[in-house]
Copies of this chain bind each other. A is one copy, B any other.
Amino acid sequence: MGEERPIRMEVRVELKPGVLDAEAESIEKSLGLLGISHVRHVTTARIYDLDFVDVTAADAQRLADEAVERLLANPVIHRVTVRAATP
């Protein structure tokens, strides 16, 4: 029997609308200076892929939500989406 396949939860953390995304603004400016045109807007996000083993899909969702709340995001400035993904 093979090893259990992990359950991957993809956590996407981005800044809320209205919070300054300095990296995105810097990229917009740099793209213009490089002559890469037609870019109206840039947004950035951070992805955390959490691979869980020996848990149910429901437990993986719950643990990922807990990781977001306690470690990965700041609810004041971040908007977070958590979804199951393929490892």
Contacts and interface: CB of A to CB of B under 8 A. Distances in A.
Interface of A: 6, 12, 14, 24, 27, 30-31, 34, 36-55, 59-60, 63, 66-67, 70-72
Given A34-B70, A44-B46, A39 B52 contact: yes
Contacts of A46: 44-47
User: Number of copies of this chain in the oligomer?
Assistant: 2
B40 A6 contact: yes
Given A44-B46, A46-B44, A47-B12, A55 B38 contact: yes
Contacts of A54: 38
Contacts of A63: 36-39
A49 B6 CA distance: 28
Contacts of A50: 31, 39, 42
